[in-house]
Structure 1
Amino acid sequence: MNHIEATITKIEQYDSVSAVFFSALGLELSMVSLELNPALKVGVDVKLGVKATNISLSKKIHDDISISNQLEGVVQTIDNGTILSSVKVQIKDIFLESIINRKSVIKLDLKDGDKIVALIKASDLAIVEIL
């Protein structure tokens, strides 16, 4: 599980659905939740979590895609297996691991040092701890 320390900047609620917005090292992130802990308020520091298998990679930012969390970074290492690859990406002072199909690494022609965009759906981001 990848972790990102962040601060809640905004919460929008409608019925039982909440959209929560965060700031982490100057990056803006968002999450959608069906159940929200009442202790969560604007200004509260949290630890966010996202599974490595829920982080997709692209070589560019997309304006015409529904994925709201698009984080620019640099490939640090690639560990290729037979079917899957582990790609470690540095985004500012945050390090994330993405596990993707090895064919995708080849298709994207990924190499250490490449600029990359980590794509995380708002429904794949979760608050794992209130700090």
Structure 2
Amino acid sequence: MENLTVVSFDASGERMLMAGLELNLPVWEECGVTVGVKATHVALAKSFSGKISTSNRLEGVVDAVDRGRLLCSVKLRAAGALVESIITAESADEMALRPGDRVTLLIEASDLSIVEVHDRGDREPERSAE
């Protein structure tokens, strides 16, 4: 794919990958970025071990569990950030999620997006001539 861009970045010591088509933001080595992911695209695993094809695995801690009849909002801390995951209430019950629990967040590279680029002043972005 010609327009596919893969960006590797450090999230508080955790290596993460983001894959996207036609990246329109000026991103360069050593710049800082704010990334976003939809809460419904953050899968959770408890007591997880083994290999999996998901690009991004982060260890996190549950801050809060807001259970509805069908869905459950789980607020977590992972890689120095607050993250929300929306999972089914049945899944939350099966994992017996409680504040303080350690979980693994699973996020596909294609589900991440760059929301903002922060210039750390290390160097200017390279711009292509158009």
TM class, shorter-length: 0.7 to 0.9
Q: Given residue 32 of structure 1, which amino acid in structure 2 is its aligned partner?
A: A
With structure 2 as the length reference, what TM-score do the two structures score? 0.84
RMSD: 1.5
Partners of 1:69 and 1:38 lie apart in 2 by: 22
- Structure 2: stretches of 5+ with no match in the other structure: 119-130
Residue 99 (structure 1) aligns with = 86
Cα deviation for residue 61 of structure 1 reads 4.3
Q: Given residue 87 of structure 1, which amino acid in structure 2 is its aligned partner?
A: V
Residue 43 (structure 1) aligns with = 30
Q: Is the CA contact 2:4–2:20 (under 8 Å) kept in the aligned structure 1?
A: yes
- Structure 1: stretches of 5+ with no match in the other structure: 1-13
How many residue pairs end up in the alignment? 118
Residue 89 (structure 1) aligns with = 76
Q: Given residue 44 of structure 1, which amino acid in structure 2 is its aligned partner?
A: C
SS in 2 for 1:77: strand
> Which 4+ runs in 1 deviate beyond 4 A?
none
% identical equivalent positions: 42
Which residue of 13, 16, 41 corresponds with 1:29? 16
